[in-house]
């Protein structure tokens, strides 16, 4: 084993500079970090929606939240509004907060299922403050009530912010393009990068952030790719920015269309838009027309075509190279997991970081955790497609009737037949997420935990009303989303009074 002293990150963008920030801060003084990127190579730059795990990463590396908000024109995000996924005309929000309350025998869907049999009309999400706040356009960061939130931000400005943050801890940026990768003749480990400008860059450990190309992990190390397109057939996106029209919503929009879906991400100064679709069922002309007919404001640029293949590298860590971001694989941005998977992989790497040298046991554990995480997120995204009731196009008929992974089929069957959900301890999406999507798309449980019937009908009705009343009273305390952003970015505080 050779001790790791020089870490080389190949590729910038969000993934590269997140890696530089994390390794540069946490292992400051123990390793040197160099990030190689070229101004001549663009980045995808459309990963502009996050999930609440981003807050934990910011705290870990010491990134000030209000500073990021100002630097990236960010808005707050309480969840994702899904339109036309179950049936055309329906919508629901997958919110970040707790729905009702968990009890020893299960989760809140058991109470809700009984309420429906008793004729109570409140939808499942009405018992979640984050959902109601998202619909009402309200938001605040305060202790009572507490809201679980994430961000919408400008990905290009975020990478720029991270560069300045990383360089303050000694990370060095190197401009250049790779001409040739040199490997050790015996081990196959990467040892040196030869640049087109004649420079060479030596390293003990390499982070591949070169995007779909996977310059190190695939072109050099021949790692292999596990294709998931038979479950997730969308393979193309058309992205564009548009001018801001109206107040920024505190949620991302994901609207299903005939052959895919459209995202809408509101920032303080503009809106990010894109159509994700399957080239097997539609073409670019359809995507351009769909995008043009369904965006707010004027287009600020020509739409960018992005082609991808859903799946993952067979190994996220191969020899002395770890792939991050698009280099490691791709799951479409339906649940805004792209940046999370970068930060999650970085935290995993920081825990297993091979300061004393690359050990097979560390590599094996990293790859095991990475595989399980990717597969659980994959199943959750497949759920959105497979649980549709749409029959209007060949695309929706395909995803509705396709065979799905056994892990997902078992979870869906158990939920519909019993209302039960059993999740692994490390899974990203918990019971709140699974229940909101399944119930939102029409997969309501046929039965529920019998212990819920222990309450008399009048007692049960009062119990459920207590939850909805608590949500409503807390909602009244919250300010307007955009008003709060203005104060927050001006470093002002907001304090809600307890409900």
Closest CA to 451 of 119, 111, 124, 118: 111
Rounded Cα–Cα distance for residues 322 and 208 (Å): 6
Q: pTM for the full model?
A: 0.94
- Would you write out the chain's pLDDT as a tens digit for each of its 499 residues? 789 999 999 999 999 999 999 999 999 999 999 999 988 766 665 658 999 999 999 999 999 999 999 999 999 999 999 999 999 999 999 999 999 987 776 789 999 999 999 999 899 999 999 999 999 999 999 888 889 999 999 999 999 999 999 999 999 999 999 999 999 999 999 999 999 999 999 999 999 999 999 999 999 999 999 999 999 999 999 999 999 999 999 999 999 999 999 999 999 999 999 999 999 999 999 999 999 999 989 999 999 999 999 999 999 999 999 999 999 999 999 999 999 999 999 999 999 999 999 999 999 999 999 999 999 999 999 999 999 999 999 999 999 999 999 999 999 999 999 999 888 888 999 999 999 999 999 988 999 999 999 999 999 999 999 999 999 999 999 999 999 999 988 866 555 554 4
Q: Where in the chain is the domain with CATH 3.50.50.60?
A: 6-48+154-229+310-358
Q: Which of 77, 83, 138, 319 is flagged as catalytic?
A: 77
Rounded Cα–Cα distance for residues 7 and 417 (Å): 51
Rounded Cα–Cα distance for residues 452 and 244 (Å): 47
Partners of 201 in the β-ladder? 193
Rounded Cα–Cα distance for residues 439 and 444 (Å): 5
Q: Is there a contact between 342 and 53 (Cβ–Cβ < 8 Å)?
A: no
Q: Is there a contact between 255 and 205 (Cβ–Cβ < 8 Å)?
A: no
Written in H, E and C, the secondary structure of 29-85 is CCEEEEEEECCCCCCCCCCCECCCHHHHHHHHHCCCHHHHHHHHCCEEECEEEEECC
Token pair, residue 421, equals 């959900």
Rounded Cα–Cα distance for residues 434 and 450 (Å): 21
Q: Is there a contact between 427 and 344 (Cβ–Cβ < 8 Å)?
A: no
| Domain 6-48+154-229+310-358 class, CATH top level | alpha beta
Residues in contact with 456: Cβ distance below 8 Å, sequence separation at least 6, in sequence order: none
Partners of 193 in the β-ladder? 181, 201
- Beta-carbon-side half-sphere exposure of residue 441 (alpha carbons within 13 Å): 25
| Catalytic residue check, 487 | no
Rounded Cα–Cα distance for residues 489 and 497 (Å): 22
Residues in contact with 483: Cβ distance below 8 Å, sequence separation at least 6, in sequence order: none
Measured in whole angstroms, how far is the alpha carbon of residue 259 from the centre of its chain? 22
């Amino acid at each position: 084993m050779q001790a790791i002293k020089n870490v080389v990150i190949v590729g910038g963008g969000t993934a590269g500079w997140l890696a530089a920030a994390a390794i540069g801060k946490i292992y400051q003084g123990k390793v040197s970090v160099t990030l190689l990127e070229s101004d001549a190579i663009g980045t995808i730059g459309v990963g502009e929606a996050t999930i609440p795990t981003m807050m934990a990463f910011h705290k870990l590396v010491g990134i000030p939240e209000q500073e990021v908000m100002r630097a990236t024109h960010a808005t707050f995000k309480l969840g994702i509004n899904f339109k036309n996924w179950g049936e055309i005309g329906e919508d629901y929000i997958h919110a970040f907060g707790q729905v009702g309350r968990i009890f020893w025998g299960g989760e809140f869907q058991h109470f809700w299922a009984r309420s429906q049999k008793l004729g109570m009309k409140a939808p499942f999400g009405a018992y979640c403050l984050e959902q109601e706040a998202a619909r009402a356009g309200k938001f605040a960061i305060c202790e009572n009530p507490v809201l679980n939130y994430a961000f919408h931000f400008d990905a290009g400005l975020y990478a720029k912010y991270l560069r300045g943050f990383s360089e303050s801890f000694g990370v060095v940026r190197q401009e250049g393009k790779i001409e040739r990768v040199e490997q050790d003749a015996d081990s196959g480990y990467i040892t040196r990068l030869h640049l087109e400008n004649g420079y060479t860059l030596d390293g003990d450990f390499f982070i591949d952030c070169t995007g779909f190309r996977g310059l190190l992990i695939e072109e050099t190390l021949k790692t292999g790719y596990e294709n998931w397109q038979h479950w997730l057939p969308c393979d193309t996106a058309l992205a564009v920015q548009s001018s801001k029209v109206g107040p920024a919503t505190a949620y991302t929009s994901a609207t299903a269309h005939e052959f895919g879906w459209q995202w809408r991400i509101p920032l303080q100064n503009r809106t990010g838009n894109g159509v994700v679709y399957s080239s097997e069922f539609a073409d670019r002309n359809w995507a351009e027309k769909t995008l043009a007919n369904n965006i707010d404001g004027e287009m600020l640029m020509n739409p960018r075509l992005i082609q991808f293949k859903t799946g993952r590298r067979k190994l996220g860590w191969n020899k002395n190279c770890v792939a991050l971001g698009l280099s490691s694989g791709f799951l479409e941005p339906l649940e805004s997991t792209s940046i999370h998977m970068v930060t999650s992989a970085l935290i995993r790497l920081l825990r297993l970081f091979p300061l004393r040298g690359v050990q097979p046991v560390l590599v094996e554990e990293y790859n095991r955790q990475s595989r399980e995480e990717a597969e659980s997120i994959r199943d959750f995204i497949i759920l959105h497609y497979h649980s549709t009731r749409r029959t209007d196009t060949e695309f929706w008929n395909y995803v509705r009737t396709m065979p799905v992974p056994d892990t997902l089929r078992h979870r869906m069957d158990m939920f519909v037949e019993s209302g039960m959900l059993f999740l692994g301890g490390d899974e990203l999406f918990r019971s709140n997420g699974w229940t909101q999507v399944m119930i939102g798309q029409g997969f309501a449980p046929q039965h529920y935990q019998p212990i819920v019937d222990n309450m008399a009908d009048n007692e049960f009705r009062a119990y459920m009303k207590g939850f909805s009343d608590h949500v409503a009273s807390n909602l009244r305390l919250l300010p307007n989303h955009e008003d709060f952003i203005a104060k927050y970015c001006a470093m002002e505080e907001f304090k809600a009074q307890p409900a």
